[in-house]
Amino acid sequence: VNPNGEVVFTNSADSDGYLISIDGTNYTPVVPGSESTSYDYLNQITASAGTRTVYIKSTNTDGDNYEESDPVTVEVTVYTLSVNVNNDEYGTVTSSSINAISGATYTTSDNTLTLSDGRTVTTSKKDAAGYKTTFTGWSSESGTIRQNTTITANYTREESNHFTINSNGGTITETEGWTIDGEEATKGIDSGNAIGSFPEVSKTGYLLAGWNTSEDGTGDAVTEETINNENITVYAQWIE
């Protein structure tokens, strides 16, 4: 039994079929190959952790010539691979626990951890308004499982710059990603990024002329393309 859960054995000359079991009672028929047989038994072996015993015995459809053999057994050690996140508020994983056969290997690439038997675990960040969440890597990039093992997906979170608009006497329309409080709306913007689109604002009898860092329009003009590097409030500028 290899670490990928394949049970491989040489065929018997007198047998035209095999039976396989993980508990020695509930056998599954196996169609033999030409000279040797390989059977994927990963799911059954890793159904639980600990010492697992695989049973194999040969059969023959002509009972007069060949009797069902006594089983051959092999013990397999199964360990638990635990996968978590350094902070549950920062990210998630698609599976928190996987049973793996001793000797199985794992590698990581970006946000995916891959076992040599083909199974994968993926981590994803959780966004939070006003913060920048970043995946910084796995606690172990690769290795071989020979004991119960824990691997952690690591994230950091930094407070974003608070960009606030003030309607300056107008009304702000509810907009996804913005938190509205009276005449003001705020969203987080990472340093070095453009502001992007503004919420829709209106004021009866007036047209929006733009945005400015000063309430009276004597400061700096601000547009969607403006790069934001600090906490700042800008004010709507109205014309009749």
Per-residue pLDDT tens for 97-144?
999 999 999 999 999 999 999 999 999 999 887 788 999 999 999 999
Query: 94 or 34: which carries more pLDDT confidence?
Result: 94
- CA atoms within 13 A of residue 215's CA, in its CB half-sphere: 7
Q: What pLDDT is stored for residue 213 in this prediction? A: 96
CA distance 146 to 134: 31
**Residue 55 pLDDT greater than 80, yes or no:** yes
Residue 50 vs residues 73, 123, 159, 164: alpha-carbon distances, Å: 16, 27, 44, 57
Between 159 and 215, the more confident residue is 215
The pLDDT assigned to 199 comes to 96
Q: Which residues contact 152 (CB under 8 A, 6 or more apart)?
A: 83, 84, 85, 86, 138, 139
How does 169-183 read in b/e, with b if 16+ C-beta sit within 10 Å? eeebeeeeebebeeb
Question: Measured between alpha carbons, how far is 166 from 132 in angstroms, rounded to an integer?
Answer: 23
* Tokens coding 10: 């040489």
Distance spanning both ends of the chain, measured CA to CA? 82
By the 8 A CB rule, do 123 and 135 touch? yes
- What backbone phi and psi angles, to 5 degrees, belong to 198? -95, 155
- pLDDT number for residue 193: 87
Measured torsion, CA atoms of residues 173, 159, 84, 126, in degrees rounded to the nearest 10: 10
The bridge status of strand 97-101 relative to strand 36-40 is unpaired
Percent of the chain with pLDDT over 70: 94
Q: Which one, of 150, 151, 6, lies nearest residue 76 by Cα?
A: 6
Q: Cβ distance 163 to 197 under 8 Å? A: no
Binned at pLDDT 50, 70 and 90, residue 63 comes out as low
In which element (H, E) is residue 42 found?
helix 42-45
Question: Token pair for residue 155?
Answer: 């994230």
Quick one: which of 19, 30, 15 has its CA closest to 62? 15
